[in-house]
Amino acid sequence: MNGGKTPFDKLGVTKEELIQIRNRIAGSSTLLISPEEALQEYSNKLDQLIRRAFQLAQAQESVGSVCLIAVGGYGREELAPYSDIDLLLLHSSSRDEELSPFIERVLYPLWDLGLEVSCSSRSIHECLKMAQSDLYIKTSLIDRRYLDGEYELFRNLNDPFSKKILYRNIKPFAESLKQELHLRHKKYEDPHYTLEPNVKEGIGGLRDFQMGRWLIRVRDETDRWDSILFPDLSRRLEKSVRFLWTIRIQLHLLSQRKQEDFTFELQEKIAPLLGFPDGTKGIEKMMRQYHLSAQRIASFAQDLLNHILREPSAFRKTFLFFRRKRIDENFEIAFGEIRLLHPMALKRDPTQLMTLFQYCQSYKVLMDFRLEEAILEALPFLDDRFRTSEKVNQIFLSLLRRGETLGLLLRKMHDLGILSRFIPEFSEIEGLVHYDLYHIHPVDLHSILAVEELEKLKNGFYEKEYPLLTTLMKRLEKQEILFLTALLHDIGKGREEDHSLIGSVLGKRIARRMGLSKEEQEWIGFLIQHHLLMLEVAFRRNLHDEQVILRFAKQIKEVHRLKMLYLLTFSDIRAVGPEAWTPWKNSLLMELFLKTSHLLEKDPLGELSSQFSSLPQTSEYLEYLPLRYLSSYPPEEVAHHIEMARSIETHPLKVEWVIDQGTRGKLTICTKDQYGLFSKITGCMFLNRINILEARIHTWDNGIALDTFWVEDLTREIERRLEGFKKDLHRVLVEKIPLNDLISKREEPARLTPKVIPKVKKEVKINNEDSDFYTLIEVIGEDRMGILYEITRTLTDYGCNIHFAKVSTLGNQIIDTFYVQDEWGEKITDRFKIDHLKKALLHQMS
């Protein structure tokens, strides 16, 4: 001490030196050296400082017998560089006023060094009284450590604290810890804390671990928490805790304050310090390790709590002893828990493990602590034989099929490491994270959450909010396939290749191993490969465009697959995080689902696409060809149509025909689509007295109209009439001569009085239900020359754009169906307009 000029060097250390000491911890706290040593070293340094401050104060101020005690984290010698330092000044009687100048003398020089020190002063009696009611004081006293002063006082506190308070009754203690944990976790449930976790207080943070330690201390009266755990488990837990500490120390040092949130900024800085690779990959790797560690710590604390709280009282134990229930030769249920009858049973026959989960599901019981240890011991025996065992797989699938407490069971399997032994591919996605804001949960957890979302649908949890999805899930056949797909949908993540594609291959492989049928394997492969398709189409494409829906339907092919994909998409988005799923996305997905299912239920499109993909010459045009068109013609004809379509690039109109039996002909017309085209064609037929028996008109997506007509001319002059028709159509379409001019020029041929034949009833039906994109107009009436021209002209006059028509004649009756849209490409929904159109059409037919 150099004269004590300034308070800073009173203790022989300057602020800068203290920072240097802290930074030395940084150097040693990479993954190379265990952080415990660094922590201890720092704590020792502080001990020296604080003792000196205490002794200086004692020299200046006389107080009676006092004792300085380190409590909390400092008491454990686990002090992060900028953590609060908690001290307790124990005194023999209550003389608070006398003590405060003394405490100030101790604290001021420490505060001047920038240390966050707080010191409370209590008598032994006060300590005991407060510890009874205050959880925080109680837990901080568990970790008390003598620093300086009257040792007798410290000893006098020990005995009554242990006997009267600590070891008295573990249940209320566990209960209040559980409440504390619950409140604390609630605060960190917010998904942002999953991305930027709180190392100390967050879920699976260091506080959780500490809580577990306190519980062991109280229950087993030992500080050696690792001694009561299964060695493998304690080793992994120790590694996890060490990793969190390493990060916490870095957080403090880099921020130079008590920083416990592991923010993006600090993730970027810390990853290279801990030797992770550069860039996003390294951060993702580090965060993966973080999540795996936190998961382990969280389940350690949670399991301990559960077991302590579920332990029945001695009285109840005797009572329940008589209510033990033996399930089979290996398991019994006692005290509401399932237990193993023979410790070796699982090792002898590992398949019993899956049976055990089946019992957990059907009896709705949890596992005994010792049983979990037995499982851990049996893990190495879960080999290929286990994975391919028919019995094991059948039971696993039956768990899924039953679908109750599924999330819980899968989480347990995951926590105990069974899931990744049973499905080794799953270990690749454990703890895997994306360094972005959207993907909140690590992939393994996300996958289990997706299963849980489906389970909630099945249980009717979303009945009010999402009635359609609920109904679909409840009525879905083979639910186990969907559950399994949800569990595996991201199995391809974390690799270089497209995760949907590789995931599909892996998914099929797993399904095969589980002994699923060929068809079920294909379903799983298909769903995984396309698990992003539905949301891409729903959010990025125009759902009012029929081609969009048709193309989507063509990929899906079956209603059953559509339903599964819809449900999978829902569960996938919901499992991303609470903010990912919005009513907005819900409406778009529902719209896509409904439109596609209408389409698939009306005409199954399955065989079409495969039939036409074999046509090489159609490939460049195939995307333009509407399915309705493709379903109307055989492939050879499609190929020919495409040739015609190519030729109209030079000649704007192509008309071809084939004569059959001298009076009938099949006519093919190809041209660029224009408004009222159909009406113009039928007008020119009318001009040349050609009777239309049947017509199919189609418009391709690239604006080419391809129409086929079956026509008749009973005068056997069909060839000449068709030539005339071709010339007239050229005049109207290419030379743009108004059709009306041509019609008025032709004289009306003399007509015989028509023969009296049975009257045909007239009917016009306009329906908006059968198609999501078109208004269907059905016209039934008596056939006569030119009727089609008149109907189509009326439709055109009323602003109807005819996209597709089917015209047929039965005797003297015509039945024509037109698929139309208005000028805006929408269905005709205005009642007033519909009524007018109906009247006009009926009028035309009389």
Partner 1 sequence: MKKIEAIIKPFKLDEVKNALTKIGVQGMTITEVKGFGRQRGHTEVYRGTEYKIDFLPKVKIELVTADEMVSQVVENLERVARTGKIGDGKIFVSSVEEVIRIRTGERGKDAL
CA gap 541, 581 in Å, rounded: 18
Specify the amino acid at residue 326: R
Return d(Cα 296, Cα 241) in angstroms, integer. Answer: 9
User: CA-to-CA distance for 294 and 300, rounded, in angstroms?
Assistant: 10
Q: Which is nearer to partner 1, 185 or 563 (CB)?
A: 563
Q: Is 769 in the site for partner 1 (CB under 8 A)?
A: yes
Residues 481 and 566 sit within 8 Å (Cβ to Cβ): no
Q: Which residue in 810, 703, 702 sits closest to 760, CA to CA?
A: 810
| Among the listed residues 733, 735, 730, 798, the one whose alpha carbon sits nearest the alpha carbon of residue 764 | 798
Rule CB under 8 A: say whether 580 interacts with partner 1.
no
Per the structure block, which two tokens stand in for 339?
């237990």
Asked if residues 36 and 244 have their Cβ atoms less than 8 Å apart, the reply is: no
- Measured from the CB atom, the residue of 223 and 826 that comes closer to partner 1 is 826
* Residue 238: closest CA among 215, 206, 283, 193: 206
Q: Which is nearer to partner 1, 322 or 824 (CB)?
A: 824
Residue type, 801: N
* Site membership for partner 1, residue 780 (CB under 8 A): no
In angstroms, rounded to a whole number, what is the distance separating the alpha carbons of residues 9 and 3? 9
Give the interface segment with partner 1, choosing from 74-82, 84-92, 465-473, 711-719 (CB under 8 A): 465-473
The yes or no reply on residue 578 touching partner 1 (CB under 8 A) is no
Categorise residue 825: left if φ over 0, alpha if ψ from -120 to 50, beta otherwise.
left
For residue 465, the minimal CB distance to partner 1 (Å) is: 12
CB 319 to partner 1: min, Å:
51
Site stretch for partner 1 (CB under 8 A), options 158-166, 183-191, 202-210, 583-591: 583-591
Per-residue mark of binding to partner 1, 471-510 (x: CB under 8 A): x---------------------------------------
Q: Which is nearer to partner 1, 179 or 582 (CB)?
A: 582
With CB under 8 A as the rule, give the number of residues binding partner 1: 23
Q: Under a CB-based contact definition with an 8 Å cutoff, are residues 415 and 295 in contact?
A: yes
Stretch near partner 1 under the rule CB under 8 A, chosen from 33-41, 108-116, 279-287, 588-596? 588-596
Token digits for 449? 């959450």
- Kindly tell me which of 535 and 841 has the beta carbon lying closer to partner 1: 535
Rounded to the nearest whole angstrom, what is the least distance from the CB of residue 552 to partner 1 in the complex?
13
Which member of 227, 256, 582, 767 binds partner 1 (CB under 8 A)?
Answer: 582
Name the residue nearer to partner 1 (CB basis): 643 or 826. 826
CB of 245 or CB of 773, closer to partner 1: 773
Among 594, 648, 743, 760, binds partner 1 (CB under 8 A): 594
Task: Decide whether 467 or 738 has the Cβ nearer to partner 1.
Answer: 467
The DSSP element (H or E) to which 321 belongs, if any, is: helix 314-321
User: Which pairs with CB-CB distance under 8 Å and at least 24 residues apart come from 54-57?
Assistant: 54/106, 54/147, 54/148, 54/149, 55/148, 56/10, 56/11, 56/105, 56/109, 57/102, 57/105, 57/106
**Contact letters for partner 1, residues 325-364 (x by CB under 8 A):** ----------------------------------------
Q: Does 674 bind partner 1 (CB under 8 A)?
A: no
Nearest distance from residue 825's CB to partner 1, in Å?
5
Strand order in the sheet with 337-340: 325-326, 331-334, 337-340, 366-367
DSSP string spanning 762-784? -EEEEESSS-SS-EEEEEEEE--
Segment contacting partner 1 (CB under 8 A): 246-254, 466-474, 501-509, 626-634?
466-474
Contact stretch for partner 1 (CB under 8 A) within 175-183, 578-586, 669-677, 717-725: 578-586
Among positions 5, 172, 322, 584, the unique one binding partner 1 when judged by CB under 8 A: 584
Place of tokens 């577990």: 212
What's the closest the beta carbon of residue 537 comes to partner 1, in angstroms?
Answer: 9
Closest alpha carbon to 119 in 155, 151, 149: 149
**Interface stretch with partner 1, choices 2-10, 317-325, 576-584, 681-689 (CB under 8 A):** 576-584
Q: Does 597 bind partner 1 (CB under 8 A)?
A: yes
Shorter beta-carbon distance to partner 1: residue 747 or 823? 823
Select the span of 31-39, 452-460, 503-511, 591-599 touching partner 1 (CB under 8 A).
591-599
590 forms part of the interface with partner 1 (CB under 8 A): yes
Write out the binding residues for partner 1, residues 707-766 only, by CB under 8 A.
Answer: none
User: Per CB under 8 A, which of residues 404..433 are in contact with partner 1?
Assistant: none
From 7-15, 23-31, 584-592, 740-748, give the range in contact with partner 1 by CB under 8 A: 584-592
Structure-token pair, residue 193: 């804390």
CB of 262 to partner 1, least distance (A): 23
Window 513-552: residues binding partner 1 (CB under 8 A): 539-544
Q: In angstroms, how far is CA 618 from the centroid of its own chain?
A: 39
Q: Tell me whether residue 129 is exposed, middle or buried, using C-beta atoms within 10 angstroms of its C-beta: 0 to 12, 13 to 18, 19 or more.
A: middle
Give the pairing of strands 331-334 and 337-340.
antiparallel
DSSP state, residue 803: E
| Burial degree of 806 (CB within 10 A; 0-12, 13-18, 19+) | middle
**Contact partners, residue 759, CB within 8 Å, separation at least 6:** 782
467 counts as binding partner 1 under rule CB under 8 A: yes
For residues 816 to 845, the per-residue mask of contacts with partner 1, x marking binding by CB under 8 A and - elsewhere, is: --------xxx-------------------
Reduced DSSP (H G I as helix, E B as strand, rest coil) percent helix, strand, coil of the chain, to 5: 60, 10, 30
Residue 124 makes contact with partner 1 by CB under 8 A: no
Shortest distance, position 446 Cβ to partner 1, whole Å: 22
CA distance 710 to 344: 82
Torsions phi, psi for 606 (to 5 deg): -45, -55
The total of other beta-carbon atoms located within 10 Å of residue 41's CB is 15
Residue nearer to partner 1 on the CB measure, 195 or 538: 538
Taking the complex as a whole, how short is the minimal distance between the CB of residue 436 and partner 1, in angstroms? 17
Question: What letter represents residue 611's amino acid?
Answer: Q
Give 785's Cβ-side CA count (13 Å radius). 14
Residue placing its CB nearer to partner 1 in the complex, 505 or 594: 594
Binding partner 1 (rule: CB under 8 A), the pick from 437, 468, 501, 734 is 468
Distance in Å, CB of 32 to partner 1, minimum: 39
Q: Is 647 in the site for partner 1 (CB under 8 A)?
A: no
| Shortest Å, Cβ 827 to partner 1 | 10
Question: What is the spatial distance between Cα 375 and Cα 354, in angstroms, rounded to a whole number?
Answer: 11
In the complex, least distance from residue 698 CB atom to partner 1, rounded to whole angstroms? 22
> What minimum distance in Å lies between the beta carbon of 201 and partner 1?
29
**Which is nearer to partner 1, 401 or 561 (by Cβ)?**
561
Going by C-alpha positions, the residue among 181, 92, 86, 217 that lies closest to residue 140 is 86
Cβ of residue 468: shortest distance to partner 1, in angstroms? Answer: 6
* Beta-sheet strand order (sheet of 775-782): 653-660, 664-672, 704-712, 691-699, 801-810, 813-821, 775-782, 763-767
| CA separation, residue 633 to residues 53, 104, 246, 548, 639 (Å) | 98, 97, 70, 22, 10
DSSP per-residue string spanning 593-637: HHHHHHHHHHS--HHHHHHHHT-GGGHHHHTTS-HHHHTTS-HHH
* Using rule CB under 8 A, residue 585 touches partner 1: yes
| Per CB under 8 A, 583 contacts partner 1 | yes
Least distance to partner 1, CB of residue 580, Å:
11
Nearest approach, Cβ of 548 to partner 1 (angstroms)?
Answer: 9
Binding positions for partner 1, rule: CB under 8 A: 467-468, 471, 539-544, 582-585, 587-588, 590-591, 594, 597, 769, 824-826
